[in-house]
Amino acid sequence: MDDERLRGETPGLSLREAIRAARMEAAERSGVIVELRDATLARLSMLNELLDPVFAQVPLEHADLFDRGLMPGEIPRLFIDMVAHVTLARDRRTYRFLQDARSGRHVLAESANPNDIVDAVTRYIARRLIAREQAMVSIGAPAEIAPIEPHPAPHRPPPTPEPPRPRGAALPFLLGLALGALAMLALAAFYPDITDRLWAR
C-alpha cells in the first residue's frame, strides 16, 4: 500500500530542472569571475602605467634583466621579471608584490595603495642592478684583465745601424770610368806618339 502511494506521488524536482538550475548558477558564477578578472586587469594595467617612468630610467645595458608584462589568465599577473610579479589579493583591492625563490614564494610588499607598490618595485629594481654590478666586478670584464707578460729576453745590445748608402752614386762612377777607358784607347789608336811620351814619363 505504501509502495503504491509512493509511486503515485510526483517527485518534487526532476533531474532536468536540476541541470537547468545548475547551468544558470554556473553562468552567473562565470559572469562574476569574468567581472572580477576584468577589474583585476584594470587595476594591474593602471599599476603598469605608473611603473613606466621607473623602467624608463633603467640603463639600456641592464634592460635584459627585466621582462615586464601583463599576463591575463585565471589569476592575472603583472610580471616585473622572471621571478617577481604583482597580483591582487582575494579582496581584489590589495596589491601583492611577490618573488619566487628556491625557498618558496615571498611577499615583498602588500598594500592597497598602488604608489606603495611602485616604491617597492623601484627598490627591487635598484637591488637587482647593484647585484649585477657586483657580479660583473667579481667576475671581471675582459677589458680589465691584465695581459700576460712574456718572459723577458736576455739583454742584447742594439745593433749598430749601417751608414746610409747614397742611392744612384755608383752608376755615374762606373759610367765615368768606362768613358775614361774608351778615351784612353781612342787616344792610343790615333796618337801613338802621345801615349809613348806619357809612358816614358
Q: Can you give the pTM of this predicted structure?
A: 0.54
Q: Mean of the pLDDT values across residues 62-87?
A: 90
pLDDT in tens, 106-132: 999 999 999 999 999 999 999 999 998
Q: For the chain, give every domain's residue range.
A: 15-142
Residue 147 has pLDDT above 50, yes or no: no
* DSSP collapsed to 3 states, the chain: CHHHHHHHCCCCCCHHHHHHHHHHHHHHHHHHHHHHHHHHHHHHHHHHHHCHHHHHCCCHHHHHHCCCEEECCCCCEEECCCCEEEEECCCCCCEEEEEEECCEEEEEEEECCHHHHHHHHHHHHHHHHHHHHHHHHHHCCHHHCCCCCCCCCCCCCCCCCCCCCCCCCHHHHHHHHHHHHHHHHHHHHHCHHHHHHHHHC
